Amino acid sequence: MKSFDYTITDEIGIHARPAGILAKKAKEYASRITITKGGKTAEAQKLMAVMSLGVKKGETVTVSAEGEDEEKAAADMETFFKENL
């Protein structure tokens, strides 16, 4: 399993638009990608689950990838978070 922590810099946090883009991006990988905040975990591929975390600007999330392409998935997701969130 590969994981990284990221502090959200987007003014609105993970709201509908970026959550949708995030879910679409996560579906590109065979690995299971999860986002954890404050003890709650959501599968990144599921839009409503990601939004239910209620991540706001300044909060830190842990993103994990586990599976056959976890190295690439984790690296790509970290880049995605830096560019979009």
Q: What are the residue boundaries of the structural domains of the chain, listed by start? A: 2-84
Length of the chain as a residue count: 85
Q: Is 15 among the residues known to form the active site?
A: yes
Q: Is the dihedral of CA 20, 16, 8, 55 positive or negative?
A: negative
* Number of other residues whose CB lies within 10 A of the CB of residue 8: 19
Give residue 17's pLDDT.
87
Confidence of residue 8 (pLDDT cuts 50, 70, 90): very high
Q: What is the pLDDT of residues 27-37, one digit of tens each?
A: 999 999 999 99
Architecture of domain 2-84: 2-Layer Sandwich (3.30)
Q: List pLDDT tens digits, range 38-80.
A: 899 999 999 999 999 989 999 999 999 999 999 999 999 999 9
pLDDT-derived band of residue 14, with 50, 70 and 90 as boundaries? Answer: confident
Exactly one of 3, 15, 36, 49 is catalytic; name it.
15
